[in-house]
Each structure stands twice: as structure tokens, then as C-alpha cells.
Structure 1
Amino acid sequence: MHQFHGMGYAEYSRKHKKRLEVEKQREKEYVISQHVVGSIERKLHSPPVDEHRLSKRM
């Protein structure tokens, strides 16, 4: 905990304001990670690009 949030568990458990800050940051990081995962999944499941069709357009 100290490595990621700059405080130990004892301080985290004692100070409500600090706990809220940590949890807001965790939620923000979670949302960002879900966007990254979604982007990767869309790329994995999209049809392959036909390079020959692309070169004919140019």
C-alpha cells in the first residue's frame, strides 16, 4: 500500500479523508483500465484489414 499510495495501512485505516482519496484514485484507474481493455478487445475482434483493397483506393 505504501508503495502505491504513499501511506501505510495504519494511516489508511485511521484517516477517512485519505481513504476516500485512495478509493477515488483506484476507481479512476479502474475506469481507465476498462477503456484500455475494451479498446484491445475491439481490435482483436475486428475483421482483418485487406491491404490489397487499401492500396487500390489510393
Structure 2
Amino acid sequence: MDEDEYLGLTGEQAERLAAERGWRTVRVLAPGALVTLEYREDRLNLQLRDGRVERCWQG
């Protein structure tokens, strides 16, 4: 997975790209949001700031 490909995309664009690439679960988060510590291999996390992806990671 190349996380950099998601950086700068709008949340909608990133979610669409993730679905096209087979991600079963996409979690959209605000900066500083509390997240669970469970690791899920099939989950892509997208952190948005002002509607654009600023961070992306698996789990």
C-alpha cells in the first residue's frame, strides 16, 4: 500500500480510491480523534484536516 497516494485527496476521493483498491473498511478521522487500539488488517484509516487527507495508515 502506498499511503502517499491518498494525501491531499478529499475525503470522498480517498474513500472511492480505497474502495476501488479493495479496502473493506475505511475509517475517516478528524485530527486528534480518539481511536481504538485494535489492529484490523482490512481497515484503512484516513485523517482529514479541512476536508483533505493529511495522514493515512493501515490498521
Same-fold call, TM > 0.5? Answer: no
With normalisation by structure 1, the TM-score equals 0.25
Structure with a larger share of its residues in strand: 2
With normalisation by structure 2, the TM-score equals 0.24
Rg (Cα) greater in structure = 1
Structure with a larger share of its residues in helix: 1
